[in-house]
Amino acid sequence: MTIDYDDVVLEIEGLCLSYYIRAGEVPAVVDFDLKLHRGESIGLVGESGCGKSTVANGIMRYMGANGAITGGSIKFNGRDMAEMSEEEVRQLRGNEIAMIYQEPMAALNPSLTIATQMIEVAVYHDDATEEEARARSLQVLADVHIPDPERLLASYPHQISGGQQQRVVIAMALLSNPSLLLLDEPTTALDVTVEAGIVELIGELSEKYGTSLLYISHNLGLMLEVCDRIAVMYSGDVVEEGHIDSIFSWPKHPYTHGLFGCIPLPHADKNARPLVAIKGQLPLPYERPDGCNFGPRCDFYEEGSCDKMQAMEEVHTDEDDAHRVRCHRWNGIDHTAAIPKGPSHAAATIGETVLEVDNMQKYYEIRDNSLKAVIAGDNVRYVKANEQISFKAGKGETVAIVGESGCGKSTFAKVLMGLETATGGAVRLNGDDIGGRHVQSRTPKLLSSLQMVFQNPNDTLNPSVSVGNQIARVVKRFGVESEPAQIREHVLKLLDTVKLPRDFYNRMPRQLSGGQKQRIGIARAFAGKPATVIADEPISALDVSVAAAVTELLMDIQREYETTLLFISHDLAAVRYLSDRVVVMYLGGIMERGTTNEVFAPPYHPYTEALLSAVPIADPQVEKRRILLEGNLPSPLDPPKGCPFSTRCPRRIGAICDDEIPPVQFASDRHAIACHIPMEELREVEPVIKLHEEHIPPEVLGGDQPTPVGGDD
Amino acid sequence: MSELVETAAPLVAPPSGLMRAFKSIGLLRESWVGMVGAAMVLFWVLVALLAPLIAPYDPLANYQSFVKPGGVDAKGNYFLMGTDQIGRDILSRVIYGTQRVLIYAPLATMSAYVVGIIMGLLAAYRGGWWDTILTRVADIILSFPPLVLYIVIITQVGQSAFVIVAAIVLASGPGIFRIVRGLVLDIKTREYVAAAETRGESNFYIMFVEILPNARGPLIVDFCIRLGFVTITIGILAFLGLGLPPPDPDWGKMVNEGRALALAFPHMTLFPCIAISSFVLGLNLLADGLREVALRD
């Protein structure tokens, strides 16, 4: 369905939303405007804390006990929602406006079957009889591509996978055929290959049902795949809004520009074109500056004009191509001249092998003590978390371990750290086999040479101990320094290294932002001058601009200390950006390994190919081949007999895939692929990602754009 | 790259540990329920400390029996709460009784906490056999009705302050153990615990530095409530005649002594009962307030 520009579904004008907390009123959203046409999908993008979800809740008139709509109007299908009674709004929710949240498991009641929950929706909103409701549920479930709807209706939420749960939630939202669907980070909790399926589905459904979408996400790449228009939010209001192509090709607001500079797009490179983080951090709602909220963080801040309130200005006005920006100087900034460029570095030289993993294997034993199992003699089963893991990492090298959840990458990290011991093979660090040594039997020297940066910034620091003391403990334990004064001095130096002010020494972790906590985590890991650092998804919980800063910091320290970095991630964009070599894991085994360039170009393992296709890329210049994976990850308790990927492989060649473990084929001396398909055939596969010819990154395109109207400075 | 420094939100000078403790107590002002509770508890603490100064008579001295509250005996002595059957001043006995409650109830609760916390940390953090055995032991103790447990222990071992405290530790330790175990099972999966393990910290350090301080919130609330329970328990034991040995005044014993005559002279039981309930109520309100404040941020 095409967009009907005469039919406005949702019109928001000057919306102000506030929360009331102990400290007083917190204006979460200030003067928010939005117009959504029938069949249109608008993306609302911004970092956490900028008010995206509050807008969605405000539209639902669901602000909670301490929230309130303090100004402006929301018109839904021409009717002002403020004039509706509570009962009318309730009828509207679910019937006309449906919302899909991030966590599908939390949206479904775990103690009721899917059938009960779906039928209830239809019966309540449409006065349908139970048979009608059931028939309609089956039909909608088929629409969201659930393979066996009848069986699914009889299941409980925990019996189906996360991707299927989210499909069910979407199906429930579609049951009463709403005219507006609010999606609040609907795929953030899902794996990339599952996410790709859901994104495809959402696009398809809005075509089919003619539903208007308001898609909230922090992921610009996803926006490009789903939305027609996009609104960039910063600190409670929209700073730039326009057609998706217009914004991605000619972003006008310095903040939007900054965001693109933070994303590891295919043309970014850690040595020649490093990421540029936006300086500073998001102001708290009650500490917003005068005038432009982005002012203090903006490279183009100009006293006298940027410290006054600024209305949205039209960049160009065509109805289907409107592009508005809230910046005083948008027309005066020459983004071409001022490409903010991080310092470039010489490529690191990779030294002798530091870490060697040789056929490492980790099985978890599961004992079934039932009488039946004991008599049958199969009371011990194994979860094959890691199988035949082999690779090498040199001094100063970054090796990425990529895979979706459940692929065994975290188990591998635990074995390296000694929190678990390997059940087979060897892990050699500087020649010593450490795979079988538990952390308690490791020498302090070994412990200090192998440290870890953790994933969750809120979990990585002990909340009861001050930041300085936490780092000092490491310095002391690893014997770097022993005198209290010297320990303190060393900790302060480490704070300098991670670019935090020295007075953070006495801060408690809760006084720090997520990015700052992660910096402390990095300082702690590097305190003992480790030879190898394992970073387990260190940036996945951070906002893009913070993630960029932390990534750069990690790279800088690594260069300085010549550390071997094992970067565990599911984020292929980040992996491509910062790693020298890549190991792709699936279901406990290595599918493909090689240098980054080798892995990201044909020949691919079919799984790598699917992964690459699933990653959203925030660049309209990139053309992607779509590959959607069917089915779910098999249980590691009962993996396929042959190739682990055979159950979902789009390039399966026959029974051999199911029955025989695939041979490891070498495309070059360090590029290995475990697949039955002959190497010649794999080499002929077309690349998944194609950059347009003469590809130029968007910020270079500054001057080449339609003539702007309005704005004369 | 130096411009990449994330500027921190402006903050007041780094507070020391003590300052922080005071600040969190200051937060209690936000909850009027908590303030009322704190005031009631503080009242009894002051009464206990100032007992020799504020008690009008010697709690053990005998005056005229059965003086009604507000009555005067033959010698002209005024008794605000009256006297009991052997002529002791009830007000003074209630005041001195506070000292007993405020020594033994916190002592017993603290001891139970020490035992419960150590058991809980060991069971949850070490797991395996530690967990199996400690959990079974706790289950066995919890399967006895607590009163039966007290009666058996005190009648068999002997009626002394030490035995009473030990019995309370035995009876309430398993409850604390379960709470601690549950909290630790959650906290031990945190990344900072893994970080401590990967730098080779001892089990002792991890349990008492990395884990225990972060479980303090729920434990402080539980401590207040449990202190109230223990106060009542000590009262009940005294009421049953299993309490602390005479002759010192004791709220529970006063209720017991006045029980037979309660119909004719209700004041003999009424005032110690009010004392017990107001102290326990104060503790419970304080716990509610702490919980409320803790949940708010």
Q: Cβ contacts (< 8 Å) between B292 and chain A: which residues?
A: none
Residue-wise pLDDT for A532-578, tens only, equals: 899 988 888 788 888 888 888 888 888 888 889 999 988 888 888 88
Residue in chain B closest to A500 (alpha carbons) equals B5
Q: What is the pLDDT of residue A700?
A: 44
- Please say if the pLDDT value at position A92 is more than 50: yes
- Please say if the pLDDT value at position B182 is more than 90: yes
B275/A438 Cα distance (integer angstroms): 57
Q: Cβ contacts (< 8 Å) between B218 and chain A: which residues?
A: none
Determine which helix (DSSP H) or strand (DSSP E) holds A10, and give its type and residue range: strand A4-21
| A261 Cβ under 8 Å from any chain B Cβ | no
Q: What is the pLDDT of residue A284?
A: 74
For residue A22, give the nearest of B1, B30, B194 by CB distance: B30
Kind of pairing between the strands at A622-624 and A432-433: unpaired
A616/A627 Cα distance (integer angstroms): 12
Percent of chain A with pLDDT over 70: 92
* Residue of B188, B191, B210, B292 to mutate when probing chain A, most A C-beta within 10 A: B191
Cβ atoms within 10 A of the Cβ of A170, count?
A: 23
Higher pLDDT, B113 or A67: B113
A396/A496 Cα distance (integer angstroms): 21
Residue type, A672: A
Mean pLDDT along residues A645-666: 86
Mean pLDDT along residues A317-338: 66
Percent of chain B with pLDDT over 70: 89
A210/B83 Cα distance (integer angstroms): 86
Let me know the angle formed at the C-alpha of B121 by B117 and B127, rounded to the nearest 5 degrees: 145
- Alpha-helical segments (H) within A350-483: 371-376, 409-417, 444-449, 467-477
What strand order describes the sheet that includes A398-402? A450-453, A532-536, A564-569, A398-402, A581-586, A589-595, A672-674, A664-666
Q: What is the pLDDT of residue A710?
A: 39
Mean pLDDT along residues A274-280: 76
Q: What is the pLDDT of residue B6?
A: 40
The structure tokens listed for B128 are 């395996």
Select from A445, A551, A494, A525 the least CA-distant residue to B195.
A525
Residue type, A481: E
A143/A598 Cα distance (integer angstroms): 39
Among A residues 105-144, those touching chain B with beta carbons less than 8 Å apart: none
Q: What is the pLDDT of residue A243?
A: 84
| A287 Cβ under 8 Å from any chain B Cβ | yes
Most confident of A97-106, A439-448, B116-125: B116-125
Q: Which of A403-407, B182-186, B291-295 has the lowest mean pLDDT?
A: B291-295
Kind of pairing between the strands at A24-38 and A212-217: unpaired
Cβ atoms within 10 A of the Cβ of B226, count?
A: 25
Residue-wise pLDDT for B106-136, tens only, equals: 999 999 999 999 999 999 999 889 999 999 9
A349/A367 Cα distance (integer angstroms): 48
Residue type, B189: T
Q: Cβ contacts (< 8 Å) between A465 and chain B: which residues?
A: 209, 213
Q: What is the pLDDT of residue B17?
A: 57
Cβ atoms within 10 A of the Cβ of B223, count?
A: 20
Q: Cβ contacts (< 8 Å) between B208 and chain A: which residues?
A: none
Per DSSP, the residues of A433-457 read E-TT--GGGS-HHHHHHEEEE-S-T
- What residues are paired with A43 via a beta bridge? A215, A230
Most confident of A110-114, A429-433, A570-574, B18-22: A110-114
In the three-class reduction of DSSP (H, G, I as helix; E, B as strand; rest coil), residue A362 is classed as strand
In the three-class reduction of DSSP (H, G, I as helix; E, B as strand; rest coil), residue A367 is classed as strand
The mean pLDDT value of chain A amounts to 81
Q: Cβ contacts (< 8 Å) between A442 and chain B: which residues?
A: 200
- Please say if the pLDDT value at position A304 is more than 90: no
Chain A nearest CA to B216, separation (Å): 10
- Alpha-helical segments (H) within chain B: 17-27, 32-54, 90-121, 128-142, 146-157, 161-187, 191-198, 203-205, 216-239, 251-259, 267-296
Would you call A552 and B1 a contact, using CB atoms and an 8 Å cutoff?
yes
Q: What is the pLDDT of residue B15?
A: 47
Q: What is the pLDDT of residue A709?
A: 40
Q: Cβ contacts (< 8 Å) between A448 and chain B: which residues?
A: 199
Q: What is the pLDDT of residue B21?
A: 62
Q: What is the pLDDT of residue A321?
A: 64
**A78 class by beta-carbon count within 10 Å (0-12 exposed, 13-18 middle, 19+ buried):** exposed
**Residue A287, phi then psi, degrees to nearest 5:** -120, 25
The structure tokens listed for A440 are 């308690």
**B281 class by beta-carbon count within 10 Å (0-12 exposed, 13-18 middle, 19+ buried):** middle
Q: Cβ(A311)–Cβ(A379) under 8 Å?
A: no
The structure tokens listed for A210 are 């003619």
Residue-wise pLDDT for A241-271, tens only, equals: 888 888 887 787 888 888 888 888 777 777 7
Higher pLDDT, A297 or A316: A297
For residue B200, give the nearest of A287, A444, A521 by CB distance: A444
Q: Which of A198-207, A560-569, A688-697, B236-245 has the lowest mean pLDDT?
A: A688-697
- Please say if the pLDDT value at position A509 is more than 50: yes
Mean pLDDT along residues B74-86: 81
Q: Which of A306-310, A370-374, B14-18 has the lowest mean pLDDT?
A: B14-18
Q: Cβ(A255)–Cβ(A239) under 8 Å?
A: yes
Q: What is the pLDDT of residue A147?
A: 78
Domains of chain B in sequence order: 17-61+89-296 (1.10.3720.10)
Would you call A459 and B191 a contact, using CB atoms and an 8 Å cutoff?
yes
Confidence of residue B296 (pLDDT cuts 50, 70, 90): low
Residue-wise pLDDT for B139-163, tens only, equals: 999 999 988 999 999 999 988 889 9
Mean pLDDT along residues A668-677: 87
Q: Which of A314-318, B120-124, B173-177 has the lowest mean pLDDT?
A: A314-318
Residue-wise pLDDT for B12-47, tens only, equals: 444 455 666 666 667 777 788 888 999 999 999 999
Would you call B198 and A452 a contact, using CB atoms and an 8 Å cutoff?
yes
| A500 Cβ under 8 Å from any chain B Cβ | yes
**What is the ipTM, given to two decimal places?**
0.80
Q: What is the pLDDT of residue A263?
A: 82
A268/A599 Cα distance (integer angstroms): 17
For residue B5, give the nearest of A418, A444, A501 by CB distance: A501
| Model pTM score | 0.82
| A437 Cβ under 8 Å from any chain B Cβ | no
Q: How many residues does chain B have?
A: 297
A450/A413 Cα distance (integer angstroms): 11
Percent of chain A with pLDDT over 90: 2
Select from A646, A620, A701 the least CA-distant residue to A265.
A620
- Please say if the pLDDT value at position A205 is more than 90: no
DSSP code of residue A158 = G
Among A residues 536-555, those touching chain B with beta carbons less than 8 Å apart: 546, 549, 552-553
Q: What is the pLDDT of residue B20?
A: 61
Distances from the Cα of A644 to the Cαs of A285, A333, A594, A665, B270, in angstroms? 50, 53, 19, 16, 77
Most confident of A210-219, A362-371, B272-281: B272-281
Would you call B199 and A512 a contact, using CB atoms and an 8 Å cutoff?
no
Mean pLDDT along residues A61-74: 81
In the three-class reduction of DSSP (H, G, I as helix; E, B as strand; rest coil), residue A123 is classed as helix
